[in-house]
Copies of this chain bind each other. A is one copy, B any other.
Amino acid sequence: MKKRMAVRPLDIGKGRIEMPHGSGGRATAQLVEELFLKAFDNEWLRQLNDQASFHVQGGKMVVATDGHVVSPIFFPGGDIGCLSIHGTINDVAMSGARPLYLSASFILEEGFPLIELEKIARSMAESARLAGVAIITGDTKVVEKGKADGVFITTTGIGMVPEGVRISGDRARPGDRILVSGTMGDHGIAVLSKRENLTFETAILSDTAPLHELVAEMVACAPDIHCLRDPTRGGLATTLNEIAHQSGVGMKINERSIPVKGEVASACELLGIDPLYVANEGKLVAICGEKDADSLLSVMRDHPLARDAAVIGEVVEDEHCFVQMETAFGGMRVVDWLTGEPLPRIC
């Protein structure tokens, strides 16, 4: 590609997003080249076409998409950039697929500082690089000041599912075991603490992380895993209810076996919220046949992202599709869907 005619380079340090950055004209091209392309640089983006092309093998493919509107955009343990990469990689991976490529679409508010946008783009690039997934195409729109909230990022990912893997939310069967990969509620509490300016004795960091490598090891160990899902918005409680309804089964879980960090439990108590309803961004729920549970748990615990993995309960017959929990005090209670919205804009 020829270099464009000389124009003053973007002033990343002091510049801000202006309406012409969304015009599709020279200013858009400059923003793409000097900020996004510089951060994401790869052979596909460099083609500068309105779409990216690549070769695929035949087989079972998955697509997942996620809009990211988290507030604040920088939070303990992460930012909207890495979150937008991990969130979509994880949605792809929860089918058992190996994520291959991502697209990224930005909606920017006029006046947004370029220095923050660059920081976000670098965070996306670094997360994608570490995960071995390329951001191959994108889009940039700009809306007037007051018509958005800084930056919204929608990422879409594709991946290929290994032969024989058939993971779906409708495959939970009575007798199956329910596993989680680690502590619940870290992400939601990290975001909330920043938003509410809360300080805790120990800093609570978001658990945002890409789970596809963990999933690859789990699938290699137990190709017949029935369900995988990352308990993001709505938390563990909502994810279990979703799967129960999709599969037409009930679930019995045990509160004592659900890993929750002490500081997260304390923060939840302080804030009057239940960690089972708090979002996670680097954890998964797995449901598998009883015969696979032990080996799966062992593979999970060997992985750095699932050291605290635990079996938290089992699938039961229940025409009402209730998720019931034996509480720490030995009683039973129904764990309902999240209703209302205690934690808006958590991802």
Contacts and interface: CB of A to CB of B under 8 A. Distances in A.
Contacts of A5: 320
A48 B234 contact: no
A29 interface: yes
Contacts of A181: none
A25 B229 contact: no
Contacts of A146: 146
A25 B105 contact: no
Nearest to A52: B63
A154 B84 CA distance: 14
Contacts of A223: none
Given A4-B245, A20-B339, A246-B1, A64 B47 contact: no
User: Looking at chain A, what size class is its interface with the partner chain?
Assistant: 35 or more
B232 A24 contact: yes
Nearest to A69: B141
B58 A56 contact: yes
Given A51-B64, A65-B138, A95-B51, A28 B233 contact: yes
Nearest to A64: B51
A158 interface: yes
Contact of A63 (B20, B64, B136): B136
Contact of A29 (B22, B23, B54, B242): B242
Contacts of A104: 65
A341 B168 contact: no
B62 A161 contact: no
A216 interface: no
B61 A341 contact: no
A248 B2 contact: yes
Interface centre among A25, A229, A339 (most CB of B within 10 A): A25
Contact of A1 (B68, B97, B136, B245): B245
Nearest to A167: B49
Contacts of A50: 64, 91, 94, 229-230
Given A91-B51, A233-B23, A64 B1 contact: no
A294 interface: no
26 contacts: A1-B248, A2-B246, A2-B321, A19-B344, A23-B343, A25-B277, A25-B338, A25-B341, A26-B339, A28-B233, A49-B168, A50-B64, A50-B230, A51-B64, A51-B95, A52-B64, A54-B61, A56-B61, A65-B156, A67-B106, A68-B141, A69-B141, A103-B156, A141-B152, A148-B152, A154-B154
Interface of A: 1-2, 4-5, 18-20, 22-29, 47-69, 71, 91-92, 94-95, 97, 101, 103-107, 136-144, 146-149, 152, 154, 156, 158, 161, 168-170, 229-230, 232-234, 238, 242, 245-246, 248, 277, 279, 320-321, 337-341, 343-345
Given A20-B341, A103-B156, 12 more contacts: A2-B321, A24-B233, A25-B340, A26-B238, A48-B242, A49-B169, A52-B64, A53-B61, A63-B136, A65-B104, A67-B107, A139-B154
